[in-house]
Amino acid sequence: MTARKTDALSLYYNAVKQNPLLTAQEERELSRRWLDHQDRAAADRLVLSNMRAVIKIAGQYSNQHVSFSDLLQEGTLGLLRAVDRYDPDRGVRFLSYAAWWIRAYIRDHLLRTRSLVRLGTTQRQRTVYSRLGKAKTEVAREGLEGEARMARMVEIIGVDRKTIESMEGRLMGYDVSLDAPVSADGDSAPRSNFIPDPATGADDLLADGEEQFIERQRLDQAIAQLPLREQEIIRRRHLADKAETLEVVGKDLGVSRERVRQLESRALLRIRNWVAQDSWSREVA
């Protein structure tokens, strides 16, 4: 263990010792103080009392050839994001909600730093990256191999075989110097001699960019199907740089925060149904 890792862990363990776990009622009260009054002390306590979760989740990714302190840092950013977005009125414990954000920030960091070539440039690739570990565990438990293994992974992850195979191959290794020889004896030509013409990858780059554009276009189309009030709620709660609270949105719209929550839930369901129906229509066509 490096000194940097030790120092980072010391800071986290000290925070854990000084800030015991919160009860459900304490979480609700602190979250409400932050959402309604922007009480920084309440937000800080929510963060400090849940830092042990960052250590635990970061440890699950500690074999990824990245600094453990960096994982802790990214996980903490996810925890901060969770504090800002958590709605205590939904009946979900804070840690259950925050764990998703902690993992999301850590995974995003791994995708951005694992290689000089970005691994998760499309939504489909990010989906494979986040679900691949679970899928591999499942097929191993079921003892599947060959075609049966891949068919089961396609079923679990929910994307096509080509995308899964591509991501698996890219995740198998890490960056190697172009000046390094191909063989281990050091007498062979450097790897740079075997690099194909980069122009051959232009179609792939164009396809990735087009896919991102289409996904955003479909989301915009789905939102456009909503009533104007629900459109505003979705944009202010989910698409803005800083999501606004239910109370703030409700005050501007002249309705209660509970009514905003109901409209938001209905709008999200409509968007999911519209996107699913659109995807099915495209497949049929």
The CATH number linked to 274 is: 1.10.10.10
Alpha carbon distance 229, 253 (integer Å): 8
Alpha carbon distance 106, 82 (integer Å): 13
Domain check: are 119 and 109 in the same one? Answer: no
pLDDT at 4 exceeding the cut of 60: no
Domain check: are 32 and 105 in the same one? Answer: yes
162 vs 201, more confident? 162
The residue from 73, 99, 114 where one domain ends is 114
Domain check: are 151 and 108 in the same one? Answer: no
Record the tokens describing residue 59, joined without a space: 């440890």
Domain check: are 108 and 8 in the same one? Answer: yes
Domain check: are 27 and 124 in the same one? Answer: no
pLDDT at 164 exceeding the cut of 50: yes
Domain check: are 129 and 106 in the same one? Answer: no
Alpha carbon distance 148, 139 (integer Å): 9
pLDDT at position 169: 59
R_g of the chain, CA atoms, integer Å? 23
- Whether 188 is covered by a domain: the verdict is no
Q: Which of 201, 179, 177 is nearest to 189 (CA)?
A: 179
Segment among 79-83, 144-148, 210-214, 226-230 with least mean pLDDT = 210-214
pLDDT at 120 exceeding the cut of 80: no
Segment among 30-39, 109-118, 170-179 with least mean pLDDT = 170-179
Record the tokens describing residue 141, joined without a space: 């438990």
Record the tokens describing residue 114, joined without a space: 């694992």
- Whether 207 is covered by a domain: the verdict is no
pLDDT at position 3: 45
pLDDT at position 119: 47
- Whether 192 is covered by a domain: the verdict is no
Give the pLDDT band (50/70/90) at residue 190: low
**Average pLDDT of 253-267?**
90
15 vs 171, more confident? 15
Look up the domain containing 239 and give its range: 212-278
- Whether 150 is covered by a domain: the verdict is yes
Give the mean pLDDT of the chain. 75
**Average pLDDT of 191-209?**
49
Domain check: are 101 and 155 in the same one? Answer: no
Domain check: are 106 and 130 in the same one? Answer: no
DSSP category for residue 67? -
Percent of the chain whose predicted confidence (pLDDT) is above 70: 66
The residue from 114, 136, 151 where one domain ends is 114
Give the pLDDT band (50/70/90) at residue 167: low
- Number of structural domains (the chain) is 3
- Whether 190 is covered by a domain: the verdict is no
**Average pLDDT of 209-230?**
73
Stated pTM of the model: 0.46
Domain check: are 109 and 128 in the same one? Answer: no
pLDDT at 285 exceeding the cut of 60: no
pLDDT at position 157: 81
- Whether 270 is covered by a domain: the verdict is yes
C-alpha atoms less than 13 angstroms from C-alpha of 193 in its C-beta half-sphere:
7
CATH number assigned to the domain comprising residue 108: 1.20.120.1810
Alpha carbon distance 227, 215 (integer Å): 21
pLDDT at position 117: 41
Q: CB of 42 within 8 A of CB of 64?
A: no
**Average pLDDT of 69-87?**
89
Longest dimension (CA), the chain: 76
- Whether 76 is covered by a domain: the verdict is yes
Domain check: are 89 and 125 in the same one? Answer: no
Instruction: Report pLDDT digits (tens) over 123-132.
Output: 666 666 667 7
Long-range pairs of 21-30 with CB within 8 A, sequence gap ≥ 24: 21/49, 21/50, 21/52, 22/46, 22/49, 22/50, 22/94, 24/93, 27/88, 27/93, 27/94, 28/88
Long-range pairs of 93-100 with CB within 8 A, sequence gap ≥ 24: 93/24, 93/27, 94/22, 94/27, 94/31, 94/46, 94/50, 95/50, 95/53, 98/50, 98/53, 99/53, 99/57
The residue from 123, 156, 172 where one domain ends is 172
- Whether 204 is covered by a domain: the verdict is no
188 vs 261, more confident? 261
pLDDT at 27 exceeding the cut of 90: yes
Domain check: are 153 and 97 in the same one? Answer: no
* Residues contacting 46, CB < 8 A, separation 6+: 22, 27, 30, 31, 34, 83, 94
pLDDT at position 116: 40
Domain check: are 7 and 101 in the same one? Answer: yes
pLDDT at 182 exceeding the cut of 90: no
